[in-house]
Structure 1
């Protein structure tokens, strides 16, 4: 498998034709679009094109697979969060391949825990297995001996495992395929699945025929685990039948929403202030009516344990390299307002204001308002917004592990 790394916002014209075709077929690329808006992967045969968040910096060849798998895991974790819409403004993200990825991870987890599905039956045989004395006494000729009966033959129940059952063949083939497609993402180390399943031959028939076999098996099952497995296998084959493209696409557009969510998830000393911020109020028909849903909504606010210091964080997924791709007037005014609103609620507190950009290092240090005529800074009225850069893949790693960015939080809140 060959992994080729790119970054979000890379030039579309530099991408391979099959990658551009995959993006177009998944509605991730417009005809007039010159820069990509996507983080994730496109896989075709043994080639994987991975699109990391912007400003990740150089990645060592030995780290390509680990970094790529970490990103896909983070995207999967993000898709499982049901409150992510509360972190983003404007157009929402588009997530592609999340249902396939979730189903694939479920099937691989089930296989690791329980192995390949096999049908087990039992047969009554002579002189084999555990003796069934009731059946033996009723059906086998006994001979008197002293005060008991002697049976020259006994009937026993022998358990038989059918490794060549068609359902077993289907399950094994799906696991082999998933291992080839995303085993490098799911497994920490190579489990050599092809070797373990080498003795199980491929199933016969196309996907439709295999689905019918699984549906028949589902109809005779009673165990919840086996029933769920059959349903998941049917779902997988159904998705494969409906997929006309030969490329596997998994990822997310408009990564800024996930950027905001991950930063919020990895912060320590978070403080919910949104419910206390002033809300717009209108006079309608002579009555004051508050627009609760139209109130201010900060990304993340931190509060020190002694409640004397606050940090207002605005996670910005900007290039942040020059004036053209730094936050503009609406972003600045919003942060200045939040600082003032927080000061009104906690008059004696020290307020720090921050932009967090993706990057290993950065050029922007802080944002100010300046009088364009006199060149005088307005720092006394509008507290400067400091800038900090965060390595996107360090954030992704912490997010996957459920760890907090303690050192960063300490810096933001000046502990």
Structure 2
């Protein structure tokens, strides 16, 4: 899937590496995005190569024909930025073990693009003085010109005027323009509906002939003589950009997440309503050591998300599972299933008079054919039915699917998934 206007190509995390274009595979390998011996993609985000931006969406994503691809890519970047911010501010670091790559780069690019939209190119402002032109500078006129007295009044046949000039030919302006051209060529769609529009304006500015090290020196010199907040902010941003690209021969972008389990969990948790914080009350192992009992808080139960029905004493334990969930082979392992059973058992202990507890796995995808997971005795027979399910001993785990593209859009904009929330609450009814 591609958008030739912006040179965007779309792929999914966990796709077969052999299905990627040869040039993209090689670029990912050079950037260290392909684990040794891996057969599948393990990356969600974007990277640039050969003037193309490859966007990797969460697994099982399906792009509808009516979607605007640049908006989809932009939402993914905003979602990754929000996830990075939540990871930076979280005290529960265990929930954010996924490696986030290049998030600082996208922040810098967005800042430089937005500054250009608000303030335009960096310019040098000078004041020019000319006879009988511009706004009269009376102080200079009185000091430098001869006055004639007429009826007791001083008359100046010539006055000195001033006018402000904006210079767009300075070296700093050229550096600013060149950096913006580079950003627009590879990631202008982040800010501009049509990146060609700012490129037309920027094309009138001369290219930079100095090397990156010299450019940084020039920017630092300008920074030391600047006083306005905007100029200082911009110059520092331009220096950071050049420092980043100086060590990259290809000047490519890589922004994303290597493993998306935590990303998937965080997005779902943030987009659900009626959440109940129970982890601080959940069960934990109690060790008897040399006659003393020691509670291992760090080894206690930790659920992804628990919802409490707004009008009844009913709960939903929702566990975000980043599995393909197409068949038995691509579904949760026994350890995940058993843990979910124990979550329900623990909830019955910490909550009194619970009416109902629903256990749910949420997989990525617009739809899927796994409806629920039950436990049964091992048997040699080939056909099983509802009577074989041990649901009284092990309440079944419901399985539902959430469209990753819809989730990314809502999470990136700080919105809730009201329909998904209601669907989960209905399972406890």
TM-score normalised by length of structure 1: 0.93
Gap change, CA 1:3 and 1:123, over 3 Å in 2: closer
Superposed, 1:388-403 pairs within 5 Å as: 388-403=400-415
Structure 2 CA distance for aligned equivalents of residues 42 and 158 of structure 1: 47
Aligned equivalent of 1:218: 223
Aligned equivalent of 1:98: 103
Aligned equivalent of 2:421: 409
Matched residue SS, 1:324: coil
Matched residue SS, 1:363: coil
1:88–1:260: 8 Å Cα contact kept in structure 2? no
Q: Once structures 1 and 2 are overlaid, which stretch shifts more, 288-297 or 404-413?
A: 288-297
Gap change, CA 1:190 and 1:49, over 3 Å in 2: closer
Correspondence for 2:187 among 182, 187, 202: 182
Superposed, 1:91-130 pairs within 5 Å as: 92-130=97-135
2:52–2:186: 8 Å Cα contact kept in structure 1? no
Gap change, CA 1:83 and 1:389, over 3 Å in 2: farther
Compute the displacement of 1:278 (Å): 2.1
Structure 2 CA distance for aligned equivalents of residues 84 and 22 of structure 1: 33
Gap change, CA 1:188 and 1:268, over 3 Å in 2: farther
Gap change, CA 1:249 and 1:402, over 3 Å in 2: same
Aligned equivalent of 2:360: 354
User: Where does structure 2 lack aligned partners over 5 or more consecutive residues?
Assistant: none
2:184–2:195: 8 Å Cα contact kept in structure 1? no
The one-character-per-residue Cα deviations of 1:349-398 (angstroms, maximum 9, x if unpaired) are 22111000011211111111112259842211221110001111011111
Compute the displacement of 1:264 (Å): 0.7
1:264–1:299: 8 Å Cα contact kept in structure 2? yes
1:22–1:249: 8 Å Cα contact kept in structure 2? no
Correspondence for 1:365 among 354, 362, 371: 371
2:245–2:251: 8 Å Cα contact kept in structure 1? no
The one-character-per-residue Cα deviations of 1:55-86 (angstroms, maximum 9, x if unpaired) are 11354386444333332332233223225684
Aligned equivalent of 2:323: 318
2:53–2:186: 8 Å Cα contact kept in structure 1? no
Structure 2 CA distance for aligned equivalents of residues 338 and 144 of structure 1: 99
Compute the displacement of 1:87 (Å): 8.1
Correspondence for 2:389 among 370, 377, 382: 377
Aligned equivalent of 2:73: 68
TM-score normalised by length of structure 2: 0.90
Gap change, CA 1:72 and 1:187, over 3 Å in 2: same
- 1:21 partnered with 2:26: yes
2:12–2:57: 8 Å Cα contact kept in structure 1? yes
User: Where does structure 1 lack aligned partners over 5 or more consecutive residues?
Assistant: none
Aligned-residue CA RMSD in angstroms? Answer: 2.3
Aligned equivalent of 2:156: 151
Q: Once structures 1 and 2 are overlaid, which stretch shifts more, 16-25 or 164-173?
A: 16-25
Structure 2 CA distance for aligned equivalents of residues 157 and 125 of structure 1: 6
Aligned equivalent of 1:344: 349
How many residue pairs were aligned? 414
Structure 2 CA distance for aligned equivalents of residues 308 and 315 of structure 1: 23
Structure 1 CA distance for aligned equivalents of residues 417 and 67 of structure 2: 25
Compute the displacement of 1:49 (Å): 2.7
